[in-house]
Amino acid sequence: MVQSSAQDVDQYLAEAPESRREALTRLRALCREELTGFREVMAYGMPAYEREGTGEIAFADQKQYISFYLLSTDVRDAFADRLASHDMGKGCLRFRNPQEIDFTLVRDLLRATAATPGTPC
């Protein structure tokens, strides 16, 4: 589903493959729970969470993995040790197996993002 044409996150999740829908739904629930004051939007064909009009978190169902975009360089730097063992791109974590997503780490990253108005990359 690299880039979706879904109009909202509910539609995005409904269109996701059944094998990944539960993990994507859980990511959304964590984002909505931890990112108080953020606005949920569709941006670049994926669910994103904005604070004051700036996207700071997003996730996407890619062909080979689920991406979790962590756009705050401050938070990425603060979690460098915990992120070191994960498959990372410039601004995203790649989870190749939805059953192995470290939701505790994701929750901690979301809490740090909410608490730290940083500069997105």
Cα separation of 43 and 85, whole Å?
A: 28
Angle between helix axes 18-34 and 103-115 (nearest 10 degrees) is: 30
Q: What tens-digit pLDDT sequence spans the chain (121 residues)?
A: 457 888 999 999 999 999 999 999 999 999 999 999 999 999 999 999 999 999 999 999 999 999 999 988 899 999 999 999 999 988 899 999 999 899 999 999 999 999 987 566 5
Strand, helix or coil at 32? helix
Q: What is the reported pTM?
A: 0.91
**Would you say how long the chain is, in residues?**
121
CATH of domain 9-115: 3.90.1150.200
Cα separation of 28 and 33, whole Å?
A: 8
Strand (E) or helix (H) holding 26: helix 18-34
The pLDDT assigned to 116 comes to: 83
Residue 41 CA neighbour count, 13 Å, CB half: 14
Domain positions in the chain are 9-115
